[in-house]
């Protein structure tokens, strides 16, 4: 990851935010798997989401924010924002509050998870702090509302720089920006202009631009032609779920939110209330987010051991040790236990 700040050392510290819905189940699983590697991590529990509303009277307690600022790294489960009641999205508040401006979401075909595609190998870089997620909406006159898409040259340049740095740092060949500048000439026009300007500084990385509706069609036709995707906040949200669908669903796509002050690692999926508390959730996305965190810490050997372990579980023909969303018959605990057994064997 381009913004890696920590080096391998004795004990690492990370804030652990279980969150809501399936969050406690998958984050608990990720913690167990990471601990099984023997890497010493001091976990500092932080409350956030609907569960925090009950215990702390607020969705995002100041002490959780302070802990992330102090320890600079967090592993976070999905958080639910109650609809109605005027609450600002907790995920948006966290990303904006800590200026975690880049969401990094690797989406790749995984051996052992059958989908229509076998050759997906892309990384989504999503702008995390502005665009239509500014949350500024108002009623102009009764029956007419306006939502503001805030786009700044500073944020567009920063995220473009991040995408190209990431590409260069990870030996990737191409950055493709998706936009709708033919309609939003000023807003998406600025995003595109900044991406083009930054691209000129990286002659070693190819640059491609695509109108987003065409881009969606091209991804579905042949995802292998995409490498690094550069997207604004809303497009990044939507395209992340679309791309998750190419590789087995939301249960297998990890993520990180990176800023100058630190990094919050979290899966792309939400709190999945339909399966929460049933022991059915796929913990892999949370575990993979934990692997990204280990790499951020410089613990690359431990990260690789976890990857080998889950690849070995996924290669097994035993349906009891994989969750239902990826064709198995097992639950969260069965899958987690099988991964831990293999991590410990190495």
Give the x-and-dash track for 213-252 against ligand ATP (CB under 6 A): ----------------------------x--------xx-
Q: Report 55-84 residues binding ligand ATP (CB under 6 A).
A: 78
111/274 with CB nearer ligand ATP = 274
> Binding of ligand ATP at residue 37 (CB under 6 A)?
no
> Binding of ligand ATP at residue 269 (CB under 6 A)?
yes
To ligand ATP, the closest distance from the beta carbon of 309 in angstroms equals 18
Q: What is the DSSP string of 154-217?
A: HHHHHHHHHHHHHHHHTT--EEEEEE-TTTSTTHHHHHHHHHHHHHTT-TTSEEEEEEHHHHHH
Rg (CA), the chain: 20
To ligand ATP, the closest distance from the beta carbon of 250 in angstroms equals 4
Which residues neighbour 154 within 8 Å (Cβ) at sequence distance 6 or greater? Answer: none
Catalytic member of 76, 180, 188, 310: 180
82/169 with CB nearer ligand ATP = 82
> Binding of ligand ATP at residue 275 (CB under 6 A)?
yes
To ligand ATP, the closest distance from the beta carbon of 248 in angstroms equals 10
Query: Phi, psi at residue 258, to the nearest 5°?
Result: -115, 135
What is the SS3 string spanning 126-152?
Answer: EECCCEHHHCCEEEEECCEEEECCECC
What is d(CA 143, CA 3) in angstroms, rounded to the nearest whole number?
A: 45
> Binding of ligand ATP at residue 41 (CB under 6 A)?
no
Active site residue 237: yes
Active site residue 20: no
What is d(CA 297, CA 311) in angstroms, rounded to the nearest whole number?
A: 22
What is d(CA 346, CA 306) in angstroms, rounded to the nearest whole number?
A: 10
In this structure, the number of other CB atoms found within 10 A of the CB of residue 26 comes to 30
Out of 230, 272, 287, 309, point to the residue binding ligand ATP (CB under 6 A): 272
To ligand ATP, the closest distance from the beta carbon of 164 in angstroms equals 27
Out of 139, 146, 204, 274, point to the residue binding ligand ATP (CB under 6 A): 274
Part in contact with ligand ATP (CB under 6 A); list of ranges 50-58, 179-187, 202-210, 275-283: 275-283
Part in contact with ligand ATP (CB under 6 A); list of ranges 37-45, 120-128, 129-137, 268-276: 268-276
Which residue's C-beta sits nearest to ligand ATP? 270
2/234 with CB nearer ligand ATP = 234
Active site residue 213: yes
Catalytic member of 72, 76, 101, 133: 133
Active site residue 76: no
> Binding of ligand ATP at residue 325 (CB under 6 A)?
yes
What is d(CA 40, CA 54) in angstroms, rounded to the nearest whole number?
A: 31
List helix spans (H) across the chain: 23-36, 50-56, 62-71, 90-97, 153-169, 187-199, 212-221, 233-247, 284-297, 300-315, 332-345
Residue ranges in contact with ligand ATP by CB under 6 A: 22, 26, 78, 241, 250-251, 269-272, 274-275, 281-282, 285, 325
């Amino acid at each position: 990851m381009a913004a890696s700040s920590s080096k391998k050392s004795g004990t690492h510290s990370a804030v652990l935010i279980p969150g809501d819905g399936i969050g406690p189940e998958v984050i608990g699983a990720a913690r167990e798997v990471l601990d099984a590697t023997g890497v010493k991590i001091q976990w500092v529990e932080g409350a956030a989401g609907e569960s925090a509303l009950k215990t702390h009277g607020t969705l995002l307690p100041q002490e959780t924010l302070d802990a992330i600022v102090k320890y600079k790294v967090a592993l976070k489960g999905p958080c639910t924002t109650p609809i109605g009641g005027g609450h600002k999205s907790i995920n948006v508040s966290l990303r904006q509050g800590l200026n975690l401006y880049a969401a990094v979401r690797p989406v790749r075909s995984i051996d052992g998870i059958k989908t229509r595609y076998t050759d997906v190998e892309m990384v989504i870089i999503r702008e995390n702090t502005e665009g239509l997620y500014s949350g500024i909406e108002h009623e102009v006159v009764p029956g007419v509302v306006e939502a503001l898409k805030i786009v700044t040259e500073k944020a567009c340049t920063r995220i473009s720089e991040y995408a190209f740095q990431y590409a260069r740092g990870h030996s990737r060949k191409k950055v493709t920006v998706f936009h709708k500048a033919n309609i939003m000439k000023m807003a998406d026009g600025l995003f595109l202009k900044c991406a083009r300007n930054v691209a000129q500084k990286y002659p070693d990385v190819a640059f491609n631009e695509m109108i987003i509706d065409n881009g969606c069609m091209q991804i579905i036709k042949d995802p292998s032609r995409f490498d690094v995707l550069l997207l604004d906040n809303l497009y990044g949200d939507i395209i992340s779920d679309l791309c998750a669908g190419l590789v087995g669903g939301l249960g297998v796509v990890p993520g990180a939110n990176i800023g100058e002050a630190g990094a919050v690692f979290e899966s792309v999926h939400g709190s999945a209330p339909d399966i929460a508390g049933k022991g059915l959730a796929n913990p892999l996305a949370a575990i993979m987010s934990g692997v990204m965190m280990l790499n951020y810490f410089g613990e690359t050997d431990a990260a690789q051991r976890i990857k080998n372990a889950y690849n070995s579980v996924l290669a097994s023909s035993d349906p009891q040790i994989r969750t239902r969303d990826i064709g198995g018959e097992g639950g969260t605990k069965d899958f987690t236990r099988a991964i831990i057994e293999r991590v410990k064997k190495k």
